[in-house]
Amino acid sequence: MVRVRHRLGNREELLGADRHREGEGGARRHVGDVLMTPPDQSRTTDIVPGPGGVMTDEVGVVTGDLTLRTAISGGDVVLSVQYKDADEWYAVTGGKAPVTDPAALDAVHTIAVGLLNRPEG
Q: What is the mean pLDDT of residues 71-97?
A: 96
- The mean pLDDT value of the chain amounts to 82
Q: Higher model confidence: residue 90 or residue 34? A: 90
- Whether the per-residue pLDDT at 11 is higher than 60: the answer is no
Could you say which DSSP state residue 91 is in?
E
Contacts 24+ apart (CB under 8 A), 61-68: 62/90, 68/44, 68/92, 68/109, 68/112, 68/113, 68/116, 68/117
Q: Please indicate whether residue 53 or residue 8 has the higher confidence score (pLDDT).
A: 53
Q: What DSSP designation does 64 have?
A: S
What integer is the mean pLDDT of 54-70?
97
**Which sequence spans correspond to the domains of the chain?**
42-116
- For 13-31, the pLDDT digits (tens) are 655 655 656 655 655 666 5
